[in-house]
Structure 1
Amino acid sequence: MSQLLDYLVENEASFRKARLPALYSDFQSQRTLNPDGYQANVSAWRRALARIARSGLAPSARAASPNLLVLNCDEQLLRALESNQYGQPLALGAVVREALSQKDLMPLHDFLTAKSSIYARPWSVWNLASWTMKQLGVSDILKSDKLPAGQFVVIANVEEAGKQFQASKSAAAAAESRFERTFSKAHFYRTFNDQLVEGKQLSNTDMDVLLHFLSRDKGAILYDGNTVKIQPPGQPIEAAITEEDASIAQLKELLIYLTHQTSLLSARIDELTHAAKDAVAKKNRIAALAALKSKKLAETTLERRFATVHQLEEVAAKIEQAADNVQLVRVMEASGEALRSLHAQVGGAERVEEVVDRLRDQMAAADEVTSILAESGGVVVDEGEIDDELAALEGAEQARVAEAERVRKEAEQAREAEEMRKRLDAVERLRPEREREEREKQEAREELAESMMSSMSLEERPEPQAAS
């Protein structure tokens, strides 16, 4: 297999080896005989072409900065995909035509010069007739099997790069102020070039395609061919690039250039200083003087560059401050209009006083009606009866509490009496056992005394005399 086909087999799931014979065959006849198989093969090749372009491995794009969003279709692409076993993909021309008809691919020139969004699908009699012929398979009869040649924008790759741009931290940081949101085309390219496709850099053609896409089709930026201005999220979309925007972009570009010059001059001064020291060490007075003169000239130039950079930074700060003032005035103007509208709805202080007076009158009338109704139809309450009823309730409550306390004390006394009875019963049960133990001890003492007496009587008895 070719190197490009090996890459697809390793990275594209639909290009497993078992499917290669079908993908490399002329499957155009399956459009009517097996529509599902036809669409599966076409979809697999569309994804493969998008991946080939995004990888930078397209054969005509092997340069320092290959196109990642634009695919070059020609005989070189067919040869790069050619396999010793399967040959060239026979239906690749049909795949490209299908992609062109569905606007998955667009000719580069048409994409860059289109006035309306690529997502617009205007219907016409011709489009309707073309669609009908396509569904019937008639249009394919009139077409050649040859691969359409040219440069085609891969819409899927452009959309992915657009998502990466809108999600990038640089775009979020740039949206904070008008000065930060405005770029020259070259400055925009340097800032975002390595943030849109992982591990790769866009070519100049890719960047031009992306700028047209973000401006015309997504409304994420304003772009006039030279100046780029990021649209702030959540704010009204601005109409066009203004002269002030172009001036800001040029100012930022000049600042970047001069800052780069100061870095180069600083490095040059360090290099000349080192050269002068080496010349002195080698006792080469002429070389040392030449290095010192060049160093002095570089220092003078550097000083002027720093002064210019400082002036430009002051100008940039003033521009940014002026832009903030414009925004502040607009906000204040809008706030004033909002307050005026709200005050108009209120009707002024006189109308408010009138409304409050009418409200007070109505509240007073309501109180008066309530008082009249209370006097005429209300029930007269005897305060004495209420006091007597309250006293009765309090007495009943005190009696209930006293009875509960008496019952509690009786229960407590009964519980204590029961505990005392249980202790006495326990003592009574232990008394016979103690008496038995005392008797046993007494008997033991008596036996011990008797044994001692017996032994003493045996010792006092006289021994018998021996016969003479």
Structure 2
Amino acid sequence: MSQSLVDYLVENEPAFRKARLPALYSDFQTQRTLNPDGYQANVSAWRSALGHIVGSGLAPAGRAAAPSLFVLQSDEQLLRALESKQYGRPLALGAVVREAIAAKDLIPLREFLDAKESIYRRPWSMWNLASWTMKQLGVADMLKNDSLPPGQFVVVSNVEEAGKTFSAQNGPVAATQTRFERTFSKAHFYQTFNNQLLDGKHLSETDMDVLLLFLSRDKSAILYDGTTVKIRPPGAAHQEPAEITPEDTSIAQLKELLTSLTHQTALLSARIDLLTAQAKQAIGKSNRVAALAALRSKKLAESTLERRLATAGQLEEVAARIEQAADNVQLVQVMEASGAALEGLHAQVGGTERVEEVVGRLREQMAAADEVGSILAESAGTVVVDEEEIDDELAELEGEERRKADEVERVAREERERQEAEEMRQRLEAVGKVPEGEPTAAEKAAEKDMQAAEDLMSRMSLKEVLDS
């Protein structure tokens, strides 16, 4: 057992390398003043290791039936479990535990369960001041004790890890669940969440007591009165009572009974199937007595199952009515809050008379602003614009643009006509003259083209004279 626990530390704790085991198992308390950094490194390594040993379920359970995942049993059995064949027992483990207790990383179990205030509240008392002063002066070293403090201590880091897992799994879901779905008896809560928080590991009853107190007192994630548990949805502080009500207790008891009946009906159904198989097997072996006994037991089981199913049906109907009533209560509360909000807003508005008064004053101020603007415009002088002059100037500009466009078009047209006349002249010169006599068809066509060219050139010359 002891060697396997040491092997676990070597394999899973980075600080427990084989090269460091001699230092970790030595009495390093003298390093508190001579080598403070080395002392703190050894203490941190052991504190982390103790938390992981407890969380893994490998720590000695003492007289408990099952190992605890949240509570460290500090005693001689722990020292024997951590004993190494090569290095012996950890000589400074007592100092490690006392450091963890002083830092509130380890809290005595009874103190944790009886605390009325959050474990995170650290009042600065006279004893804290005196302890701090003694530590600064080195007087505390004179009071050190090598023995291991005996008792049961809550490992706060393990409880915090389970609390984070619970909040991550159920916080968002609780926002969409009804009051009925979020309410449990303690036993029902234990059955539901037992193996869902630490990688499938089962929590002991002590672990569940510690976790429920932590979630309710230190994290305000649930409401808990010792018997009934209600998960608080986000923002529930202003929607639900901050305590367990008698209605919550009734809901929790009803859900626990329904769960028990569901489990019983499943067992009875399985028993009926088993007895049926036994009766068939007995008939196959011609064992009439065994077959009759199996059938009688089957009938009794069927009768019990019928009663259980009827009871479960009645309870489910009651549960549906309770859930509907709870929804109605929440609806009425929302409507009441909405009515109060509207009433407050209307009170801020001041009624219709105040609204009419405000609107009237606004209109008066707007009219006054318009009047002031008019007066300022008159004092600055008003410029009168003659619209006819603007129209005449616009027409003149448009006419000028049209003349420019006509000039461009005329020049382009004349250029095209010159090019056509030049091409005609070149074609006529290419034809040449023929002997006198009856003109041929080609000569007639050429003469006609020549005449047309001359006419065209005459018109162009005349137009240039007219234009000039």
Q: TM-score, length-normalised on structure 1?
A: 0.81
CA contact (8 A) 1:30 1:37 kept: yes
User: What pairs with 1:50-199 in structure 2 (closer than 5 Å)?
Assistant: 50-60=51-61, 65-168=66-169, 170=170, 172-175=172-175, 176-199=177-200
Aligned to 1:385: 389
CA contact (8 A) 1:61 1:67 kept: no
> Larger deviation: 364-373 or 53-62?
364-373
Aligned to 1:273: 276
Pairwise CA RMSD = 2.8
Distance 1:351 1:91, change over 3 A: same
Distance 1:406 1:334, change over 3 A: farther
* Structure 2 SS opposite 1:15: coil
Distance 1:201 1:361, change over 3 A: same
Aligned to 1:330: 333
Using the TM superposition, give the Cα deviation of residue 325 of structure 1 relative to its aligned residue in structure 2, in angstroms: 1.0
Distance 1:399 1:125, change over 3 A: farther
Using the TM superposition, give the Cα deviation of residue 53 of structure 1 relative to its aligned residue in structure 2, in angstroms: 0.6
Aligned to 2:262: 259
* Structure 1 SS opposite 2:195: helix
Aligned to 1:347: 350
Aligned to 1:246: 249
Using the TM superposition, give the Cα deviation of residue 406 of structure 1 relative to its aligned residue in structure 2, in angstroms: 9.1
The question of 1:206 aligning with 2:204 is answered: no
Q: Distance in 2 between matches of 1:102 and 1:17?
A: 28
* Structure 1 SS opposite 2:198: coil
Q: Distance in 2 between matches of 1:251 and 1:81?
A: 47
Distance 1:94 1:375, change over 3 A: closer
Distance 1:81 1:361, change over 3 A: same
Identical aligned pairs, as a percentage?
Answer: 75
Using the TM superposition, give the Cα deviation of residue 134 of structure 1 relative to its aligned residue in structure 2, in angstroms: 1.9
Using the TM superposition, give the Cα deviation of residue 278 of structure 1 relative to its aligned residue in structure 2, in angstroms: 2.6
Distance 1:343 1:94, change over 3 A: same
CA contact (8 A) 2:171 2:233 kept: no
Q: Distance in 2 between matches of 1:317 and 1:346?
A: 43
User: What pairs with 1:196-235 in structure 2 (closer than 5 Å)?
Assistant: 196-235=197-236
Using the TM superposition, give the Cα deviation of residue 271 of structure 1 relative to its aligned residue in structure 2, in angstroms: 1.7
CA contact (8 A) 1:56 1:62 kept: no
**For 1:192-235, what per-residue CA distance to the aligned partner results, in whole angstroms no more than 9, with x for missing partners?**
11111114111111111111111111111111111111111122
CA contact (8 A) 2:184 2:230 kept: yes
Distance 1:394 1:210, change over 3 A: farther
Distance 1:289 1:359, change over 3 A: same
Using the TM superposition, give the Cα deviation of residue 331 of structure 1 relative to its aligned residue in structure 2, in angstroms: 0.9
**For 1:415-465, what per-residue CA distance to the aligned partner results, in whole angstroms no more than 9, with x for missing partners?**
x9xxxxxxxxxxxxxxxxxxxxxxxxxxxxxxxxxxxxxxxxxxxxxxxxx
* Structure 2 SS opposite 1:354: helix
**For 1:168-187, what per-residue CA distance to the aligned partner results, in whole angstroms no more than 9, with x for missing partners?**
2x554345111111111111
Q: Distance in 2 between matches of 1:348 and 1:225?
A: 51
CA contact (8 A) 1:181 1:229 kept: yes
Matching residue's letter, 1:248: I
Aligned to 2:430: none
**For 1:316-350, what per-residue CA distance to the aligned partner results, in whole angstroms no more than 9, with x for missing partners?**
11111111111111111111111111111111112
Q: Distance in 2 between matches of 1:78 and 1:405?
A: 116
Distance 1:398 1:123, change over 3 A: farther
Q: Distance in 1 between matches of 2:377 and 2:153?
A: 91
* Structure 1 SS opposite 2:223: strand
Q: Distance in 2 between matches of 1:406 and 1:154?
A: 106
- Gaps of at least 5 residues in structure 1 are 417-468
Q: Distance in 1 between matches of 2:407 and 2:45?
A: 94
> Larger deviation: 108-117 or 268-277?
268-277
CA contact (8 A) 1:31 1:137 kept: no
The question of 1:358 aligning with 2:361 is answered: yes
* Structure 2 SS opposite 1:119: coil
* Structure 2 SS opposite 1:153: strand
* Structure 2 SS opposite 1:72: strand
Q: Distance in 1 between matches of 2:319 and 2:410?
A: 95
CA contact (8 A) 1:182 1:227 kept: yes
Q: Distance in 1 between matches of 2:6 and 2:351?
A: 79
> Larger deviation: 344-353 or 63-72?
63-72
Using the TM superposition, give the Cα deviation of residue 40 of structure 1 relative to its aligned residue in structure 2, in angstroms: 0.9
Distance 1:358 1:290, change over 3 A: same
Aligned to 1:430: none
Aligned to 1:463: none
Q: Distance in 2 between matches of 1:190 and 1:404?
A: 101
Q: Distance in 1 between matches of 2:222 and 2:141?
A: 40
> Larger deviation: 195-204 or 151-160?
195-204
Using the TM superposition, give the Cα deviation of residue 397 of structure 1 relative to its aligned residue in structure 2, in angstroms: 5.6
Q: Distance in 2 between matches of 1:393 and 1:124?
A: 98
* Structure 2 SS opposite 1:60: coil
